[in-house]
Structure 1
Amino acid sequence: MKRLRLVQSNQWRRALQLGGAVALATLLLLAALSWAKVNKAPTVLAAPANQASSVITIGATLPLTEPGSVGGGEAMKVALEIAVDEINAGGGVLGKPIQLIISDTAGTPQLGAEAMDYFANQAGVVGVVGEYHSEVAMSMTVKAREHHLPVIFAETWLDDITALGYAEVFRIAPVASEVVEVPANYVEELEFDNVVIMTDDSDNGQSQAAGLESALTAKGISWQTFTATVGTTDFTSVISNIQALSPQPQAIFTLLSGVDAYNFEQQSAEAGLSPSADTVCIASQNTGWDPEGFWQNVPDGNYCVFRYMGPVQAHYNSRTLAFATEYISRTGKSSVEFYAMEAYDSLIIMADAISRAGSTDPDAIIAAIETTDLVGAQGRYYFPYGSSNPVPGDVPVYMWHQWPDPYILMLQYFEVGQTPDDAAVVYPEKYRTHGLNLIPYGSTGPQTVSTIDSSGGTLTSSSSSTTITFGQDVLTASTIITYTPFAFPFVANCVSDTLASPGNHYFRLTATYDTGQPAQPAANMSYSVVVTYTDEESSGVVEDSIAL
Structure 2
Amino acid sequence: MNTPPPPPTPPGAERTDGSSVRIGALVPLTRPGWVAAGRHLLAGLELAVREVNDAGGIVGRPLELVVRDTAADPRRAEAVVDELARLGVAALAGEYHSVVARAAAARADALGLPFLCSSAVLDALTDQPTDWVARLAPAQSHGWRIYADFLLGAGHVRIAVAAESSVYWASGARILRDYLAPRGGTVIELDMRGLSPTAVCDELVAHGATAVLLLVGHPEPAVSIVKSIRRDQRLAEVMIGAPAGQPESAEWATLLGDDGAAIPFLRYLPERLSPLGARVETALRERLAEAPSFVAFEGYDTVAVLADVLRSHGADRARIAACWPRVAVEGTRGRIRFSRPPGISVWQWAWAPVEVVDRDPSRPDRFRTLHTG
**TM tier, shorter chain?**
0.7 to 0.9
| Residues 280-300 of structure 1, C-alpha deviations (whole Å, 9 max, x = no match) | x253354444345555336xx
Structure 2 matches for 1:125-524, cutoff 5 A? 125-162=89-126, 164-189=128-153, 192=155, 194-197=157-160, 199=162, 202-203=164-165, 207=170, 209=173, 211-224=175-188, 230-233=195-198, 237-238=202-203, 241=206, 251-255=210-214, 257-267=221-231, 270-271=233-234, 274=237, 281-284=239-242, 285-289=245-249, 290-291=252-253, 293-297=255-259, 304=262, 306-311=264-269, 314-332=271-289, 334-357=290-313, 359-385=314-340, 395-398=342-345, 400-411=346-357, 416-419=362-365, 421-428=366-373
Q: Structure 1 residue 152: deviation in Å?
A: 0.3
- Does residue 10 of structure 2 align to residue 63 of structure 1? no
AA of the residue aligned to 2:141? S
DSSP 3-state at the match of 2:362? coil
| Residues 291-338 of structure 1, C-alpha deviations (whole Å, 9 max, x = no match) | 45555336xx6xx461222326x4222222222222222232x21022
Query: RMSD of aligned C-alpha atoms?
Result: 3.3
Q: What residue is the counterpart of 1:113 in the other structure?
A: 78
Contact 1:126 1:362 in 2 (8 A): yes
Moved more, 289-298 or 59-68: 289-298
Contact 2:147 2:266 in 1 (8 A): no
DSSP 3-state at the match of 2:264? strand
Counterpart CA distance in 2 for 1:132 and 1:226 is 25
Compute the TM-score of the two structures, normalised by the length of structure 1.
0.55
Contact 2:26 2:67 in 1 (8 A): yes
Compute the TM-score of the two structures, normalised by the length of structure 2.
0.78
Moved more, 61-70 or 315-324: 61-70
Counterpart CA distance in 1 for 2:150 and 2:359 is 16
Counterpart CA distance in 2 for 1:288 and 1:161 is 24
Contact 2:229 2:235 in 1 (8 A): no
Counterpart CA distance in 2 for 1:206 and 1:382 is 28
> Relative contact order (C-alpha < 8 Å, sep 6+): which is higher?
2
Change (3 A) 1:52 1:61: farther
Q: Structure 1 residue 70: deviation in Å?
A: 3.2
Contact 2:21 2:64 in 1 (8 A): yes
- Does residue 82 of structure 2 align to residue 82 of structure 1? no
Contact 1:173 1:403 in 2 (8 A): yes
Change (3 A) 1:232 1:335: same
Q: What residue is the counterpart of 1:5 in the other structure?
A: none
Structure 1: runs of 5+ lacking an equivalent: 1-50, 276-280, 386-390, 429-548
Q: What residue is the counterpart of 1:496 in the other structure?
A: none
Contact 1:350 1:369 in 2 (8 A): no
Q: How many residues align?
A: 346
Counterpart CA distance in 2 for 1:272 and 1:73 is 34
Counterpart CA distance in 1 for 2:201 and 2:48 is 50
Q: What residue is the counterpart of 1:503 in the other structure?
A: none
Counterpart CA distance in 1 for 2:288 and 2:151 is 37
Counterpart CA distance in 2 for 1:261 and 1:117 is 39
AA of the residue aligned to 1:194? V
Q: Structure 1 residue 370: deviation in Å?
A: 2.0
